[in-house]
Amino acid sequence: MVTEAGKPQPASRGRLRRQPQQARSRARVEAILAAADRILSREGYEALTMRRIAEEAATPVGSIYQFYADKSAVVDALGQRYLDAFKAAIDELVERTVAGELSDPVGMMVGVYVELIRSQTGGMALWAGRHLSPELARADEASNMHIAEGLRRIVEHLTGGARGPRVQRAARMVVWAANAVLHEVFKSDGEPDLETVDELKRMLNAYWADLHGRLTAVEG
């Protein structure tokens, strides 16, 4: 894309400058993002520079600029990868619910997302510091909406039909509450407080039991 003056516009944040076509190029992009994740996890956002990423990935810094315009583009690409994993997780949970495989919906959902966070510690370092570009912040909100929509589908399947705004509101509340608690659990260094995760499950199970009772009660 070019400006009216004929000068190239900078690449969109989070997007590759060019798509890697060969296996070697794809492996290099993976190495770059993996290195950025490790730096975020161990050293924090301020330590993340293009030169530091190059050192961690054992690749020339010029190779990174072939794919990403700057540090922000790397961060956005990495952040989008985290969000894509969360979206994929809720889609799988919906499928498992429809297949009748979700006997403990709260425990399963919390467990899946806890494991995702534990495997993506760089993402928590990024979100804890709120080092989000406007684009990534919008993607984060869209991801939360996608998860809430998945929860709505799960609840409606488990309660036997469409329930309208009440379930939509409940799904959003669950996402907000779980996000807040898990953020506190994982934002500090060291091992997460898994007892607090258990308390989150108890809280959500109580809410689910109440919601299920209200939705399935015989009206009138």
What value does the mean pLDDT of the chain take?
Answer: 85
High-pLDDT (> 90) share of the chain, %: 60
Task: Indicate which CATH number applies to the domain containing 51.
Answer: 1.10.10.60
0.85 exceeded by the pTM?
no
Q: What is the rounded average pLDDT of the residues 20-34?
A: 82
Quote the pLDDT of residue 21: 56
Report the C-alpha gap between 22 and 26 in whole angstroms.
Answer: 6
Q: Would you say residue 16 lies in a domain?
A: no
Q: What's the whole-number mean pLDDT along residues 26-40?
A: 92
Would residue 164 count as lying in a domain? Answer: yes
Kindly tell me the sign of the dihedral angle through the C-alpha atoms of 196, 197, 199, 204: positive
Q: Which of 22, 26, 82, 33 is nearest to 57 (CA)?
A: 33
Residue 218 in this model has a pLDDT that exceeds 60? no
- Residues 96, 85, 27, 72: what is their CA dihedral angle, to the nearest 10 degrees? 170
HSE at residue 88, side-chain half, CA atoms within 13 A, is 7
Confidence band of 129 (pLDDT split at 50, 70, 90): confident
Residues 86 and 179 in one domain: yes
CA 50 to chain CA mean position, Å: 23
Answer yes or no: is 11 within a domain.
Answer: no
Last residue of a domain, one of 67, 99, 124: 67
Reply yes or no on whether the pLDDT at 186 is more than 60: yes
**Is residue 156 domain-shared with residue 98, that is, in the same domain?**
yes
Report whether pLDDT(199) > 70: yes
Residue 39's pLDDT is what? 94
Q: Are residues 61 and 113 in the same domain?
A: no
Statement to judge: residues 118 and 56 lie in one domain: no
- Regarding whether 115 and 53 lie in a shared domain, the answer is no
Confidence class for position 122, pLDDT limits 50, 70, 90? confident
What is the DSSP code (8-state) at residue 8?
Answer: B
Domain range holding 148? 74-216
Q: Are residues 103 and 148 in the same domain?
A: yes
Claim to verify: residue 39 and residue 118 sit in the same structural domain: no
Considering 35, 52, 67, which residue would you say is the last residue of a domain?
67
Number of domains in the chain: 2
Give the Cα separation of 108 and 38 in Å (integer).
27
Band (pLDDT 50/70/90 cuts) for residue 18 is: low
Question: Is residue 173 situated within a structural domain?
Answer: yes
